[in-house]
């Protein structure tokens, strides 16, 4: 029963985060010069103390979409026995990050208003 | 624990077996799996490489790499279209626009001369461009087939073959109605102007698909992937 509740909670949480995944990636890349896929998942997990886990099936589609939109550019580096693809923000990506963060903050503000307002929920 | 060359080769094969034959995508997935396997074994040294690989792959969900490959294909399609559009618009800037205008004038001049055999002239001129481009597309297809490494972005060049076929169908059928109208009506110049303009656009689009796009994709790949070889 406990496991089932935990699963439902994590499902709801992941749904809430899903729409913000691209913004999270952009924000992380704004703070770091360049990052690779695995590093992003680890970083998010560490920042949120394991509360938010970006799944592999969601991370790469989001990265590839941002790259195709011209917000990210890739850099391939030979790290010895394998190649590593690093992502970094383009000029358009830096502007997009600012606008998406503003949108997200606006959304959070409105959600807080909705949640805190007694009349809105009753 | 650090994975060896052999492990990396095994992971390359593993992604290939899971329907990822494209090197540009394989490379990223292999690095991800390798990072995860290394970390899993470091956290639990009793875990075998095969077990760690299974756990790492499971994290990609029930569809494995399929979601990733589909999203990448979608993203690259978008990138291809953007590149195509910017190349197309570039043809209407100086000095390229002068070449296009000359082509338009020459075709308009010839179509006026052969206006009594308009249908034959129209079909022959389009057939000439079509065969030339099919030849170019076929050569490209062969060149890509010979390559040891497959790249997902290059498959967009390969699909130009399909684009040419479908585009040619439109080119051959739609203006034929106009030609019939041209015969019925008083041989108006508007039809000839339209056909010349249509021919100019057809030549530009075909040239972009079989010449500009493969060249541009190759340059992008060379810039992004240090181990990419155009041939």
Chain B residues close to A61, C-beta within 8 Å: 67-68, 70-72, 75
CB contact under 8 Å between A37 and B28, yes or no, is yes
Q: Does B33 touch chain A (CB under 8 A)?
A: no
Please answer whether residues A68 and B78 qualify as being in contact, where contact means their C-beta atoms are separated by less than 8 angstroms: yes
Tell me if chain A has a CB within 8 Å of the CB of B75.
Answer: yes
Mutation site for B-interface testing, chosen from A11, A37, A38, A39 by largest number of B Cβ within 10 Å: A38
The distance in angstroms from the start CA to the end CA of chain B is 37
B32 CB near a chain A CB, below 8 Å? Answer: yes
d(CA B4, CA B2): 6
Q: Which of B68, B77, B79 is the mutation pick for testing A, counting most A CBs within 10 A? A: B68
End-to-end alpha carbon distance in chain A: 30
For A14, A53, B40, B63, the CA distances from A17, given in Å and listed in that order, are 5, 10, 26, 21
Which residues make Cβ contacts (< 8 Å) with residue A78, sequence separation at least 6? A84, B226, B227
A112 and B CB contact within 8 Å:
no
Contact B36 A55 (CB under 8 A): no
Q: In the numeric block, which tokens belong to residue B36?
A: 């995860």
- Are residues B13 and B5 in contact, defined by beta-carbon separation less than 8 angstroms? no
A68 near B CB under 8 A: yes
Within 10 angstroms of residue B138's Cβ, the number of other Cβ atoms is 13
For the beta sheet containing A83-89, the strands, ordered from the edge strand earlier in sequence to the opposite edge, are A35-36, A83-89, A72-78
**What predicted TM-score, i.e. pTM, was given to this entire model?**
0.79
- Look up tokens 């009506």; give the residue: B185
Sign of the C-alpha dihedral, residues B3, B7, B12, B14?
negative
Of A57, A68, A70, the CB nearest to B76: A68
A73, containing H or E segment: strand A72-78
pLDDT confidence bin for A3, thresholds 50/70/90: very low
pLDDT tens for each residue of chain B, 231 residues long: 788 999 999 999 999 999 898 998 999 999 999 999 999 999 999 999 999 999 999 988 877 888 888 888 888 888 888 899 999 999 998 888 888 888 888 888 888 888 778 778 888 888 888 888 888 888 888 888 888 888 988 888 877 777 777 777 777 776 777 777 666 665 677 778 888 888 888 889 888 988 899 999 999 888 888 778 765
β-strand pairing of A72-78 with A83-89? antiparallel
Phi/psi at A86 (nearest 5 deg)?
-100, 145
For A36-61, what is the mean pLDDT? 84
Q: Which residue of B has its CA nearest to A85?
A: B28
Best residue in A41, A76, A87 for a mutation probing chain B (most B CBs within 10 Å): A76
Question: Which residues of chain A does B74 touch, with a Cβ-Cβ cutoff of 8 Å?
Answer: 65, 68
Task: Please report residues of A whose CB lies closer than 8 A to that of B63.
Answer: 57
DSSP A54-70: --HHHHHHHHHHHHHTT
Looking at the complex, report in whole angstroms how far the Cα of residue A49 sits from the nearest Cα belonging to chain B. Answer: 17
Contact yes or no for B196/B108 (Cβ under 8 A) = yes
Q: What is the pLDDT of residue A119?
A: 59
DSSP-derived 3-state class of residue A42: helix
pLDDT-based confidence at A17, cuts 50/70/90? low
Is there a contact between A57 and B68 if contact means CB atoms under 8 Å apart?
A: yes
Q: Do A82 and B79 touch (CB under 8 A)?
A: no
Residues of B with Cβ-Cβ distance to A81 under 8 angstroms? 3-5, 8
What residues of chain B, 78 to 117, have a C-beta less than 8 Å from chain A?
A: 78-79, 82
Among candidates A64, A71, A79, which has minimal Cα distance to A29?
A71
CA distance B169 to B3: 53
- Report the complex ipTM: 0.78
């Amino acid at each position: 029963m406990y496991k089932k509740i935990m699963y439902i909670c994590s499902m709801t949480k992941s749904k809430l985060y899903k729409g913000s995944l691209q913004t999270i990636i952009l924000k992380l890349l704004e703070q770091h010069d360049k990052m690779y896929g695995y590093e992003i998942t680890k970083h998010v997990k560490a920042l949120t103390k394991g509360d938010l886990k970006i799944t592999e099936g969601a991370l790469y589609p989001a990265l590839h979409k941002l790259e195709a939109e011209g917000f990210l550019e890739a850099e391939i580096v030979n790290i010895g026995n394998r190649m590593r693809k690093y992502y970094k923000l383009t000029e358009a990506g830096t502007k997009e990050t600012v606008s998406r963060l503003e949108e997200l903050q606006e959304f959070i503000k409105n959600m807080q208003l909705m949640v805190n307002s007694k009349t809105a929920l009753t | 624990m650090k994975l060896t060359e052999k492990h990396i080769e095994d992971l390359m094969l593993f992604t290939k077996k899971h329907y990822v034959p494209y090197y540009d995508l394989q490379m990223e997935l292999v690095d991800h799996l390798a990072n995860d396997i290394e970390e899993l074994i470091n956290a639990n040294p009793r875990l075998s490489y095969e077990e760690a690989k299974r756990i790492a792959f499971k994290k990609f969900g029930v569809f494995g790499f399929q979601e990733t490959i589909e999203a990448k294909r979608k993203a690259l399609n978008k990138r291809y279209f953007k590149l195509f559009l910017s190349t197309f618009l570039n043809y209407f800037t100086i000095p390229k626009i002068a070449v296009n205008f000359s082509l338009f004038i020459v075709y308009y001049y010839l179509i006026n001369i052969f206006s009594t055999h308009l249908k034959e002239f129209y079909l022959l001129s389009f057939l000439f461009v079509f065969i030339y481009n099919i030849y170019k597309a076929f050569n490209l297809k062969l060149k890509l087939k010979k390559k040891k490494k497959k790249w997902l972005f290059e498959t967009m060049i390969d699909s130009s073959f399909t684009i040419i076929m479908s585009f040619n169908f439109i080119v051959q059928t739609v203006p034929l109605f106009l030609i019939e109208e041209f015969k019925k009506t008083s041989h108006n110049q508007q039809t000839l102007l339209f056909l010349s303009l249509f021919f100019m656009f057809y030549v530009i689009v075909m040239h972009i698909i079989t010449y500009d796009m493969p060249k541009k994709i190759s340059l992008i790949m060379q810039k992004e992937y240090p181990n990419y070889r155009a041939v």
